[in-house]
Structure 1
Amino acid sequence: MRRTETDLVDVASLVRPSTVLRAVSRYDLVLGVIPLTWLAAAVGASVTRLPVHLLVAAAGLVCSLVLVDALYVHPPTETRPNHQQERRSPRDEIGDRSRR
């Protein structure tokens, strides 16, 4: 029987909390915060006497702020082979012109 790359993986290290937390990126957290915010609004509406439209508006505001932060304040960057990051413009132009 031939051995594959998956045979060499240390399975115990895959389930350690430190391994999982290092693998989570900022954008993974953004994708987790958005549905949790809406879930909190739904739970809050059913548990408290606050109006539903108030909680939905608050959840929408929080989600909007999270998206603005993720897309404009801390935009995604690409990593170069030498581990330097470069930012791209909205027209997909690279800001560094030295490679031309």
Structure 2
Amino acid sequence: LGFNPSYIAPSPYIPIIKESLNLKAKDIPRLALEPTANVFMLPNISAFVGADIVAGILAICMWKNEKISLFIDLGTNGEIVLGSKRKMWTCSTAAGPAFEGARISSGI
């Protein structure tokens, strides 16, 4: 996409893009899709709460639910969202070190 990756390393990490992107496949180099296909990238919530959490919020309809829900994503980073359609809180932490050496081979 032509973004400068040097911004990934310095502290504090500040993402280059936080908003969603809507592109044509033909505008993304080396992407093996039909050139006229739309490619939609979800936005990040913050530097450490990414589009995977946005996808989870959408998948479980948390954004329109009256009841409070909890969504957890564990991977290299652990991200948690607690909330309902009224308000949501998110947090993240490094989770990879918690699983190192645990002999996990097929998920948790």
Structure number having the greater strand percentage: 2
| TM > 0.5 | no
The structure whose Rg is larger is: 1
Structure number having the greater helix percentage: 1
TM-score, structure 2 normalization: 0.24
